[in-house]
């Protein structure tokens, strides 16, 4: 077969990197899938990757796109700008949130997000469902229906008055998720601690953006993660703690994983690269650095790197939650808004991977294999993106070609999102994704977008793969030890 022009596209001369291996091979692509791996392959179209690294396309698994907050604020990125920015940053697929708000149905929510995404995205996409109103109908009819349409992860909040679920509702959602093979995700912070400290800070006249940091103590995260893990363990359900920002929280995730519980963790770029000192900038500038959980300190960064290296975190995300530094976003409540009135979140969908490559691989903190796992493969396996996340025969040809030598200085103007700032302004990164393919088509090449909005397709995801996570039922829920009562799946 060698030498025959059998492939639609071949990527030649590159160093292929997967979560398990690094090897020299050409990649043959036909019908949008990887159909050949070898040497001397030829095709109708050739991408010369000599001197480059050829990786699974990034999967951004935590971002907020065309999403209203519970108080009505809209993110600045829609599926067009959000996906374009993601693609320029080395991603060939993303999984934003579809947010149910109280009073809305789940099916209605997913239909709404379908209308926002269809025809707009340049890369493939799915959704995680945010569940804020777990009515009986939602639990018995709509979550199973969401699962059936390929939405196989449900996120809940333990904080935010308009979004949070109580422990009992959380247990209901975990139980439904377990029955169907879905993964529950949680924003774990203690609501009472945050509102109690916030009220005291404001009463004492401390309203500047920097007070966002003390209003979200590390203990609020640790307490909530401990409770969330306990709830998941009670019903032996799978749970992923999103945006872990403290050593205490990471330690709890690690401990639960070591004990065999079905617990997963995610951390995000900002917790590795920024600190709460960034919140203490003149005037309202600190608002650009407000996210929840908040930025912490340098010892925390070091601890989170250790956990990233050790495998505590399966997923590394941007938590791109873009609100412009103007009256449409951060300053919607005026130039004197208190830290409680400023939208939470920061942009970063186009920089997650360049930052991790430069600071992680480039500085010898993680291997190329870990980079492939954290940028793509782990999210694919965990979130049921069966066709994505690796370079192997039969997989979608979702590929990012990286120039490991290219050095860039980050500026807001160079981002392709709909934002007017980047928290990483002025950072120097080495290593850049120069070509990105989704299902075999160049989405980004030569510094330009190569497809029209709508190239990206909705991906129905599979059930979560819990191989290797034995878990065990709490004895009180096990008929063998609770006098025979069958009360939970």
Site residues (vs ligand DUC, CB under 6 A): 64, 187, 242-243, 291-292, 319, 321, 344-345
Span interacting with Zn ion, options 158-166, 188-196, 216-224, 314-322, rule CB under 5 A: 314-322
Residue 57 binding target from Zn ion, ligand DUC, none, CB below 5 to 8 Å by type: none
Asked whether position 60 contacts Zn ion by CB under 5 A, the answer is no
What is the helix (H) or strand (E) element at residue 7, kind and residue range?
strand 5-12
Q: How far is the CB of 214 from ligand DUC (least distance, A)?
A: 17
Q: 29-68 burial by CB neighbour count: b if 16+ within 10 A, else e?
A: bbebbbbbeeeebbbeeebebeebbbbbbbbbbbbbbbbe
Question: Which residue do the tokens 């071949």 mark?
Answer: 10
Q: Which CB, 14 or 249, lies closer to ligand DUC?
A: 249
Positions in 391-410 near Zn ion (CB under 5 A): none
Q: Which CB, 210 or 243, lies closer to ligand DUC?
A: 243
Instruction: Give the count of alpha carbons within 13 A of 413, CB side only.
Output: 2
Distance CA 1, CA 380 (A): 31
Distance CA 178, CA 376 (A): 24
Q: How far is the CB of 243 from Zn ion (least distance, A)?
A: 6
Q: How far is the CB of 362 from Zn ion (least distance, A)?
A: 26
Asked if residues 85 and 94 have their Cβ atoms less than 8 Å apart, the reply is no
Q: In 3D, which of 365, 371, 364, 467 has the Cα closest to residue 19?
A: 371
Asked whether position 189 contacts Zn ion by CB under 5 A, the answer is no
Q: Which CB, 41 or 95, lies closer to ligand DUC?
A: 95
Q: Which of 187, 233, 257, 461 binds Zn ion (CB under 5 A)?
A: 187
**Token code pair at residue 155:** 């996120």
Q: How far is the CB of 36 from Zn ion (least distance, A)?
A: 39
Span interacting with Zn ion, options 105-113, 125-133, 316-324, 395-403, rule CB under 5 A: 316-324
Q: Which CB, 278 or 319, lies closer to Zn ion?
A: 319
Q: Please enumerate, as own/partner, the contacts of 74-78 that have beta carbons within 8 Å and a separation of 24 or more.
A: 74/328, 75/321, 75/322, 75/323, 75/345, 76/322, 76/323, 76/324, 76/328, 76/329, 76/417, 76/418, 76/419, 77/320, 77/322, 77/347, 77/349, 77/417, 77/418, 77/419, 78/116, 78/120, 78/418
Rg (CA), the chain: 22
Q: Which CB, 121 or 344, lies closer to ligand DUC?
A: 344
Asked whether position 324 contacts Zn ion by CB under 5 A, the answer is no
Q: How far is the CB of 187 from ligand DUC (least distance, A)?
A: 5
Q: How far is the CB of 345 from Zn ion (least distance, A)?
A: 7
How many residues bind to Zn ion according to rule CB under 5 A?
A: 2
Q: Which CB, 328 or 482, lies closer to ligand DUC?
A: 328
Span interacting with Zn ion, options 181-189, 200-208, 375-383, 390-398, rule CB under 5 A: 181-189
Q: In 3D, which of 402, 395, 394, 428 has the Cα closest to residue 414?
A: 428
Q: Which CB, 85 or 387, lies closer to ligand DUC?
A: 85
Q: How far is the CB of 63 from ligand DUC (least distance, A)?
A: 9
Query: How many other β-carbons are positioned within 10 Å of the β-carbon of residue 302?
Result: 11
Q: Which CB, 319 or 396, lies closer to Zn ion?
A: 319
Strands 26-30 and 5-12: antiparallel
Q: How far is the CB of 155 from ligand DUC (least distance, A)?
A: 8
Asked whether position 352 contacts Zn ion by CB under 5 A, the answer is no
Q: Would you call 219 helix, strand, or coil by DSSP?
A: helix
Residue 354 binding target from ligand DUC, Zn ion, none, CB below 5 to 8 Å by type: none
Distance CA 422, CA 417 (A): 10
The residues that touch Zn ion, with contacts defined as CB under 5 A, are 187, 319
């Amino acid at each position: 077969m060698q030498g025959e022009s059998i492939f639609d596209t071949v990527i030649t001369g590159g160093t292929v990197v997967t979560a398990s291996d690094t090897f020299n091979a050409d990649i043959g692509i036909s019908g949008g899938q990887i159909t050949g791996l070898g040497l001397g392959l030829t095709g109708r179209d050739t991408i010369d990757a000599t001197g480059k690294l050829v990786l699974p396309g990034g999967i951004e698994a935590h971002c907020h796109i065309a999403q209203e907050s519970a108080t009505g604020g809209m993110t600045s990125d829609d599926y067009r700008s959000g996906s374009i920015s993601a693609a320029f940053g080395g991603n060939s697929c993303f999984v934003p949130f579809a947010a149910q708000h109280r009073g809305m149905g789940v099916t209605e929510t997913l239909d709404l997000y379908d209308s926002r995404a269809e025809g707009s995205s340049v890369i493939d996409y799915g959704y995680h469902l945010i569940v804020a109103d777990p009515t009986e109908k939602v639990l018995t009819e709509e979550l199973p229906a969401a699962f059936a349409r390929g939405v196989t992860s449900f996120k809940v909040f333990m904080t935010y008055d308009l979004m949070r679920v109580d422990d009992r509702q959380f247990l209901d959602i975990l139980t439904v998720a377990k029955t169907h093979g879905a993964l529950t995700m949680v924003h774990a912070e203690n609501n009472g601690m945050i509102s109690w400290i916030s009220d005291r800070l404001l009463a004492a006249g401390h309203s500047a953006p920097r007070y966002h940091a003390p209003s979200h103590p590390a203990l609020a995260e640790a307490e909530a993660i401990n409770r969330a893990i306990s709830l998941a363990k009670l019903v032996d359900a799978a749970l992923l703690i999103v945006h872990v920002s403290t050593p205490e929280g990471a330690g709890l995730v690690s401990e639960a994983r070591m004990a065999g519980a079905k617990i997963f963790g995610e951390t995000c770029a900002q917790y590795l690269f920024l600190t709460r000192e960034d919140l203490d900038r003149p005037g309202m500038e600190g608002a650009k650095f407000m996210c929840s959980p908040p930025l912490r300190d340098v010892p925390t960064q070091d601890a989170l790197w250790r956990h990233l290296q050790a495998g505590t975190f399966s997923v590394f995300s941007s938590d791109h939650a873009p609100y412009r530094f103007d009256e449409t976003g951060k300053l919607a409540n005026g130039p004197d808004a208190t830290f409680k009135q400023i939208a939470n979140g920061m942009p970063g969908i186009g920089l997650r991977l360049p930052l991790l490559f430069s600071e992680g691989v480039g500085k010898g903190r993680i291997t190329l294999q870990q980079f492939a796992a954290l940028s793509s493969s782990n999210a694919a396996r965990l979130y049921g993106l069966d066709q994505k996340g690796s370079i192997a025969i039969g997989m979608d040809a979702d590929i990012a070609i990286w120039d490991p030598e290219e050095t860039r200085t980050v500026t807001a103007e160079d981002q392709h999102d709909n934002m007017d700032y980047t928290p990483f302004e002025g950072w120097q990164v080495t290593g850049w994704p120069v070509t990105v393919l989704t299902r075999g088509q160049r989405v980004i090449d030569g510094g330009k977008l190569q497809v029209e909005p709508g190239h990206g397709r909705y991906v129905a995801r599979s059930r979560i793969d819990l191989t290797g996570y034995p878990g065990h039922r709490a004895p009180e829920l096990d008929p063998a030890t609770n006098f025979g009562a069958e009360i939970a799946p």
